[in-house]
Structure 1
Amino acid sequence: MAENVGPGASSGEETIVNRRFGLLCIGVVAILIVVQILVFGPSIPDGGWSVSVGAVLILLIGKAVGLTWDDVGLSPRSMGRGLQYAAVIVGAIAVIAAVGVALPFTRELFHNDAYRDVGPALYSALILIPLRTVLAEELIFRGVLFGALRRTFTPRTALLTQAGLFGLWHVASSLGLSAHNQALGDTVGTGAWGTAAGVLLAVLVTGFAGIILGWLRIRSGSLLAPIALHWAVNGVGAIAAAIAWHLPS
């Protein structure tokens, strides 16, 4: 086991604690399924905020069950180290994006129809992406879920498990990937097999991203590091896309 209840804990006490955190993990998965239904169900006009609500609920349940702030990566002791990682990560990605947008032969790679205008791009980068995606997903997967898994299993098992669940979390959102991405659709097709290929690709890519984000969580000891990487890739990317549209090709 990765962690004992205490120096004098009996095997019975340890079994109860392990069971408690195991049930917490199952509860997190159940809440995520409900959130997916709310987000992608036709009866909810703007279910995207359900992810944020679900993240807060999961955190409250995790704290009630016995997770500490250190378990979820939000201990004041690790904030300084987390901020150092965050500054380096955001700075590095901002430099890469700036160079990519500045060079004419890579500028088109940043073109995204959703961010043609600066206003919507900034709103997405500073409001929607952080609140509805980054903070919520990191709190759920690298925070509560990883913390509960590490209470029962080794850090490696916890890392791989949360990454696998993070990949599966993107199944519903990737169902139309091959139909809406022309390059992917031309490669795998847009029928049933193309849809399955698009979903599999999305799960593998986001699962691998979950490993990197989880590694940052372990390495830094803070949730701030994976939050910074997750936001920088999406938020800086949105801003870079808006700038790219306003520069000559």
Structure 2
Amino acid sequence: MSVRTGGGPRVLAVVVAVLLLAAATFLANRVLPGWAYPVCGTIAALLLVVLARASGVASPEMGLGRRHLGRGAVVGLIGMGVVLLAFGVALAVPALRPLFDDGRVGSPDLTEVLWQTLIRIPLGTVLIEEVAFRGVLPALLGADQRWRWGPVLGAAGLFGLWHLLPSLALVRNAAVAETFGGFPLWLVSALAMLGAAGAGVFLHWWRHTGRSLLAPMAVHTATNSGGLAAAWLVLAHR
């Protein structure tokens, strides 16, 4: 992992970005009320962009350039369509439905599901994660608009660590519990974070393909919001 030209300032910016992300996730999950989750995510994402710009990072380096918005939207919609099609097939095949049997979903009503899928996840989860791990951090680590394995893997590794707390609740998913129920929780958590890091590499590749953060944002939203909606459908009608 190498920090590109700017040496000291860029290293400091990476440290500040990581501390900002740590503070944001602590506030959102331990301090603030539920309705403030997307507000916290949005503000944190904006602060990360301001930090990067102050460190000399141009908007296109973060996937925020206007030139590639159209391409990013098209690539994003293609990815979103593939994800939603996969969910549709899984819902249609009885043997695959246990994948959505997730105790973390609980039993929300339709209003709560709409809040989660249309506002909380897109603004509180997807926005900050894509801006941070596919935009700001790779750029600060030296990715600019080219594919560089060091920055990509560095940001992906941090993305994996970001999922430490969520990974501790994964055994509440029926499929995960059945597959990894005999493993110690620390190993399940480590495997989950490794999987998240792998997903981070894929999402960066999708961002690289679309030249815009719109591309991974669309795929990420379809995966998280679509997965929650599918889980709600399965749990509500079993």
Counterpart in 2 of 1:174?
Answer: 167
Of all paired residues, the percent bearing the same amino acid is 33
1:172-192 Cα distance to aligned partner (Å, 9 max, x none): 3323444x34665566669xx
1:145 aligned onto 2:137: yes
Amino acid corresponding to residue 139 of structure 1 in structure 2: V
Q: Which has the larger radius of gyration?
A: 1
Unaligned stretches of 5+ in structure 1? 5-13
Match of 2:90 among 84, 100, 120: 100
Match of 1:236 among 205, 226, 230: 226
**Higher mean C-alpha displacement, 118-127 vs 81-90:** 118-127
Match of 1:56 among 46, 49, 57: 46
Go from structure 1 to structure 2 and tell me whether the alpha carbon gap of 1:110 and 1:217 turns closer, same or farther (over 3 Å shift).
Answer: same
Unaligned stretches of 5+ in structure 2? none
RMSD of aligned Cα (Å): 3.0
8 Å CA contact 2:3–2:10 kept in 1: the answer is: no
TM-score for both structures, normalised by structure 2: 0.83
Counterpart in 2 of 1:194?
Answer: 184
Counterpart in 2 of 1:75?
Answer: 65
TM-score for both structures, normalised by structure 1: 0.80
8 Å CA contact 2:143–2:152 kept in 1: the answer is: no
Question: Residues of 2 paired with 1:236 and 1:226: CA distance?
Answer: 14
**Higher mean C-alpha displacement, 207-216 vs 115-124:** 115-124
Superposition pairs of residues 78-227 of structure 1, within 5 angstroms:
78-113=68-103, 114=105, 116=107, 117-150=109-142, 155-178=148-171, 180-181=172-173, 184=176, 194-227=184-217
Counterpart in 2 of 1:10?
Answer: none
Go from structure 1 to structure 2 and tell me whether the alpha carbon gap of 1:187 and 1:234 turns closer, same or farther (over 3 Å shift).
Answer: closer
Give the secondary structure class of the aligned counterpart of 2:184: helix
Amino acid corresponding to residue 150 of structure 1 in structure 2: G
Amino acid corresponding to residue 49 of structure 2 in structure 1: L
8 Å CA contact 1:142–1:214 kept in 2: the answer is: yes
Go from structure 1 to structure 2 and tell me whether the alpha carbon gap of 1:182 and 1:90 turns closer, same or farther (over 3 Å shift).
Answer: closer
- When the two structures are aligned, how many residues end up with a matched partner? 233
Question: Residues of 2 paired with 1:104 and 1:160: CA distance?
Answer: 37
Shift of 1:119: 2.9
Amino acid corresponding to residue 205 of structure 2 in structure 1: W
Question: Residues of 1 paired with 2:3 and 2:18: CA distance?
Answer: 22
Go from structure 1 to structure 2 and tell me whether the alpha carbon gap of 1:36 and 1:241 turns closer, same or farther (over 3 Å shift).
Answer: closer
